[in-house]
Chains A and B, each alone.
Chain A
Amino acid sequence: MIVLPDRVPWFLIGPLMGVVVVLVYALLNKRLGVSGSYTQVRMLVLGRAAVEPWRVWFLVGILGGAILTTLLRGGAIAGTDYGALGRLLPVGLVVPILLVGGTLIGFGTRWAEGCTSGHGLAGIPSRSPASFAAAATFFATAVAVTFLVHFATGGAL
């Protein structure tokens, strides 16, 4: 059964996410952030106690919420689609590219102590100078690299 539209508009999801940022601060006294949750889950898997167990639960929740949207759209079949990138290149090439790209994400967010959620969605409303600088940098770099990819692939991406 399809209950959820293909893409729920920004003016519904943006405010929802804003409210979540506020509630994480108001109820847990923490800055919302996803990259920090990866670290806590890794601690747990390695058998060390998670310093901030709430982050593990937050990450589990993200998975659950995302699965919920899939179910509300009538379910999904696991496949090797990856948008325009998957259409342009064979899977055997896409996997190492994504692995390298992912490594840059993990390395960079650990270094900067935050990602799109921590420095962006939560950090900017906290009026943190570090978050303003971080968000400006990752937006500028991402747009620049995306245009580089665009021209390097002759507009295919």
Chain B
Amino acid sequence: MNRMALLLGVAFGFGLGAARLNDYDVIHNMLLLREPDVFLLMGSAMAIALPALWLLERRAWQTPGRGVMRLVRSRVERKHIFGSAVFGAGWAITGACPGTALAMPAAGVALGLPVVAGIVLGQVLREHMARAAARDLSSRHRSVEMHVIR
């Protein structure tokens, strides 16, 4: 499984670099709606994956050693909207997303490193906030329980 993941990662990283998605100008021009290339790239990827996955799911595709293929599907929650809005702002500012940020230093773009460092920092911050919120919630629950007991 790990060797397969490595090979698929190489193919993915090759695509990011080959299409120059690790170039600020390419992503910036896309988000300024100046050129359709990256939209067409993502669209054609989805246009191939969507029917293929649909067919595999319908046929109950047996993955090698990992059971019947299951597509990850979830209902919309607030976190998907709020989180994606924050991500979109970061995407616009840096012209990078988690994948292309990795491909930046790989192309000698040293300034990809502060983007990668920021992504790690942001993830840690989010996890801390989520944990603090969970603690807060559970302590509030406890005080409500105490109140009920009294």
Contacts and interface: CB of A to CB of B under 8 A. Distances in A.
Given A112-B84, A139-B88, A98 B9 contact: no
A8 B117 CA distance: 28
B9 A107 contact: no
B63 A27 contact: yes
What does DSSP make chain B's interface, helix, strand, loop or mixed?
Answer: helix
Contacts of B49: 18-19, 21-22, 121-122, 125
Contacts of A101: 89-90, 93-94, 96, 115, 118
Interface residues of A, number: 117
B123 A28 contact: no
B81 A102 contact: no
A60 interface: yes
B6 A61 contact: yes
B93 A104 contact: yes
Select the residue from A21, A29, A120 with max chain B CB neighbours within 10 A. Answer: A29
Contact of B13 (A66, A94, A131, A142): A66
B77 A142 contact: no
Nearest to A104: B90
A29 B65 CA distance: 9
A58 B12 CA distance: 9
Interface in B17-43: 17-20, 22-26, 28, 31-33, 37-38, 40-43
A27 B101 CA distance: 26
Interface string A1-19: 0001011111111111111
Interface of B: 1-20, 22-26, 28, 31-33, 37-38, 40-50, 52-54, 56, 61, 63-64, 66-67, 69-77, 79-99, 101-103, 106-111, 114-127
